Structure 1
Amino acid sequence: MKAAISRTLTRTLTSPTLRDWRWRLAAVPRRLQGQQPVVHYFHQADDPYSHLTASLLPQLQQRYRVRIASHLVPPPSMENAPDLARLGEWSARDARRLAGHFKLAPVREFSAPDGGELRQRLGHYLGATFYFEGEWYWGIDRLHHLERRLADAGLAEAGLQPLVAPPDLLLEEGVSSTQAPVLHFFCSLRSPYTWIATPRIRQLAEHYGAELRLRFVLPMVMRGLPVPIEKRLYILRDTKREAERLGLPFGTIADPLGAPTERGLALLQHAIGQGKGPEFLESFLRGVFAEGIDAGSDRGLARIAQRAGLDPDELAVALADPSWRAVAEANRSEMLGEGLWGVPSFRIDDLPALWGQDRIWMLEQDLIGQLTRQG
């Protein structure tokens, strides 16, 4: 019953039809009153991502027939960002690399009226965010979604390309080394972003001949870290549009919180030992996030395991083995030691770790660089 409720609710929340209707309804007051469309931008003064995003505001304003209303906001609450210190350090490092790649000049000085209360009322928690008629867009990573929506709404000249587009994987040929690099992949069985990252991680490892090591951790909620409702809703809807961009199914979800995740991790450790870890990880994540398979049931978990190539006769023994808990804790400690706090995260050999499915293109750069150095 619980899985059925989860499937129904998440299918509704991620429905493209419902999203389109939500957008249409949000536009009604503005159209009835003949007002200019407004894009709200929320800027956090000590946030490196806000500095990058603000540098694109003049071009954004010039391109689209909208009014950009800027607001200053405070940092996210501890509930929404439980590890602010690591977040701050990572953001600075990541933003520097983004600025170099996209050739952006960060804006350091920014003035605007206070918008903390407005951001909270509209339902978000981060800086460097845009809000337009019922939908949120974070930083330069999601600006292309906002631009396409504005273009589809007839608010721009035809044929405009996004100011910042997510880089595609290169999958270069002829890049190899006598020593296979190790691709460490910190993953969780309850992370929607881990699901949409996993096929590309596997693709990179296979294409470049890297050794893929799965470093599974318990989900944040099962580690005692809160995930408020506004954060959960944003992640759900954001994953849906990213899944659509990547051509992956998403939205029929049977939440694996609790026992389903624990059972899944026991089998994942077993699968890793059998050389079938990546297959099981992808099968589990596809099952719970795209197919609504109840991993808490014996039938559902067996279905997930079977298509990953696991021997059905070995499942009971694997489920009875609690040693995965120590492995998950060791992986968590190492992830924190890398300066990161959540998944999906990854690194090549001993290079600095990266966080987020948006950074897989950076991971490929690191992988190519390592192969070139070792070749």
Structure 2
Amino acid sequence: MSFLAPYVLNLICSEGLQNWQRGLGEWRRKKSGKPHTVTVFLRINDPYSYILLQVLERLSQRYNIEFDFRTILQLQEDMYPAPALWEKNAFADSAYLANKYSLDFPRSGPVSTVERNQSASAQLLHAELQGDYLQRALAIFTAYWADNIELLDTLIDPRIARNTECYRHHLLANESLLKSKGHYLTAMLHYGEKPGGEWYWGLSRLEFLEQRLAAINAIKNHDIAAISQAPPVRNDVFSGTNTSDKPIIIYWSARSPYSYLGLVRARELSEHYGLDLIVKPVLPMVMRRMQVPQTKGMYIFKDTKREAKKYGIDFGFSADPLGAGVERCYALFDYAVSLGRGNRYLETFARSVWAEGIDAASDSGMKKIVTAAGLDWSIAKPLLQNDHWREWAQENLLDMYDKGLWGVPSFRYGQLCTFGQDRLDRLEHAIIEERTGHTI
């Protein structure tokens, strides 16, 4: 690893650079006379797109913005390692978000066919150039997700349905724009002129867009409340005593910055409610011979920085542990567990590589990590050569797959399985509901 790497990564995600880029982008916007434009990428069969679409009218009423809508249909295959599992989780996750924000959402998913998706997308593409996309799209999405085929048919011009191939190049242009701007998901919002353009994922990152628009005085109606909600308030009434034998389980990777945040937050959650926390490490995707395109990695790194700031977690001065660093981390896990310090060791490792720039591939780096975790370096050093961990790392992976999960960090509490550190509030709700007997 290059000595300069942590400094470069820290600069890339620094507030100073971000503010400079935003300022230059805003200066360019003003100079060109452009309005505050939010580009919105939507996909008809994406549940996150459906719930995002429902709040955009309020967003435009509160802020002095215009929308540039872009319809997407085809996903970038190299960005979705397990698309079926991803879609299943997306539906359950969107149902949770819809309930949280009091939005419309079906109890079961619609029947999705190639022809229906193509014709609905073609109608949406046609509406992009008509000026009232938001209203038309909301009607089409609502009929689609209600599985109301008769209504959907009335909303799609039969001339469009018969000629969907005529919209193929339009669709390709939108999909190319999404990729060229540096993203892969739908239900995405992009705001800012170069070099200050930034991504905001649906309802889960809407608060960051709202904060940015407020900072540049783009609020036009203060009587309309901000759409994004603050993190849930921890419930102290039901904290402290373990009344359940259910632990919080986290499927975790030493190379995942989201896993770092997830472990810190899951540990705080488990301590608050008096629950055991079990960490099940797995190999990073790249070390499992899977693809993680650079575009995806950079977005995750920058997104982790703003999430870390939100939760008061140090992050950014980073030394990517991919390869030897991960292997050495896992090689000492059993030793740490034998002393009752397994979770402390993993959190120390994650903080060391993602916030302190410590090179885990070097002996000097690992010595610092081991010592900080309260372990004995003279005992730990010879153990760096063992590879027994490979057996349990792959077993943890199979356990994760068996629970309908595919990536890290993922969490389990009883029967509830969820992906991403974003959804630890779902676990908290489940804990509180179990202790009160009432649904939140």
Q: Secondary structure at the match of 1:87?
A: helix
Instruction: State which drifts further: 166-175 or 224-233.
Output: 166-175
Instruction: Give per-residue Cα distances to partners, 1:23-43, cap 9 Å, x unaligned.
Output: 122223321122211110000
Query: What is the percentage of aligned positions where both structures have the same residue?
Result: 36
State the partner residue of 1:18: 17
Q: Secondary structure at the match of 1:173?
A: helix
- The offset of 1:160, in angstroms, is 6.6
State the partner residue of 1:73: 72
1:362 maps to 2:426? yes
Contact kept? 2:74, 2:175, Cα under 8 Å:
no
Q: 2:212 aligns with which of 141, 149, 156?
A: 149
Q: Secondary structure at the match of 1:41?
A: strand
Paired with 1:226 and 1:368, the residues of 2 have a C-alpha distance of: 38
State the partner residue of 2:342: 277
Residues 251 and 208 (structure 1 numbering): CA distance in 2 closer, same or farther, change over 3 Å? Answer: same
Paired with 2:343 and 2:230, the residues of 1 have a C-alpha distance of: 25
Paired with 1:117 and 1:193, the residues of 2 have a C-alpha distance of: 27
Alignment of 1:112-191 (within 5 A): 112=125, 113=128, 114=171, 115-133=174-192, 134-157=197-220, 161-175=225-239, 176-191=241-256
Alignment of 1:103-114 (within 5 A): 103-106=102-105, 111-112=124-125, 113=128, 114=171
The amino acid of 2:272's aligned partner reads H
Instruction: Give per-residue Cα distances to partners, 1:186-228, cap 9 Å, x unaligned.
Output: 1110011111122211111112121111100001111111111
Residues 263 and 169 (structure 1 numbering): CA distance in 2 closer, same or farther, change over 3 Å? Answer: farther
Residues 242 and 25 (structure 1 numbering): CA distance in 2 closer, same or farther, change over 3 Å? Answer: same
Unmatched segments (≥5 aa) in structure 2: 111-119, 129-170
State the partner residue of 2:284: 219
State the partner residue of 2:43: 44
The amino acid of 1:43's aligned partner reads L
**Which of structures 1 and 2 has the bigger CA Rg?**
2
Residues 177 and 202 (structure 1 numbering): CA distance in 2 closer, same or farther, change over 3 Å? Answer: closer
State the partner residue of 1:202: 267
State the partner residue of 2:378: 313
The amino acid of 2:388's aligned partner reads S
State the partner residue of 1:98: 97
TM-score where L is the length of structure 1: 0.93
Paired with 2:344 and 2:218, the residues of 1 have a C-alpha distance of: 44
Paired with 1:89 and 1:324, the residues of 2 have a C-alpha distance of: 30
- The offset of 1:169, in angstroms, is 4.8
Instruction: State which drifts further: 44-53 or 5-14.
Output: 5-14
Residues 316 and 55 (structure 1 numbering): CA distance in 2 closer, same or farther, change over 3 Å? Answer: same
Paired with 1:290 and 1:305, the residues of 2 have a C-alpha distance of: 16
Contact kept? 1:49, 1:139, Cα under 8 Å:
yes
Paired with 1:5 and 1:226, the residues of 2 have a C-alpha distance of: 25
State the partner residue of 1:297: 362
Contact kept? 2:200, 2:209, Cα under 8 Å:
yes
- The offset of 1:4, in angstroms, is 1.5
- The offset of 1:167, in angstroms, is 2.4
Give the aligned length.
371
Q: Secondary structure at the match of 2:4?
A: helix
Contact kept? 1:338, 1:352, Cα under 8 Å:
no
Instruction: State which drifts further: 205-214 or 156-165.
Output: 156-165
The amino acid of 1:146's aligned partner reads L
Q: Secondary structure at the match of 1:140?
A: helix
Contact kept? 2:62, 2:225, Cα under 8 Å:
no
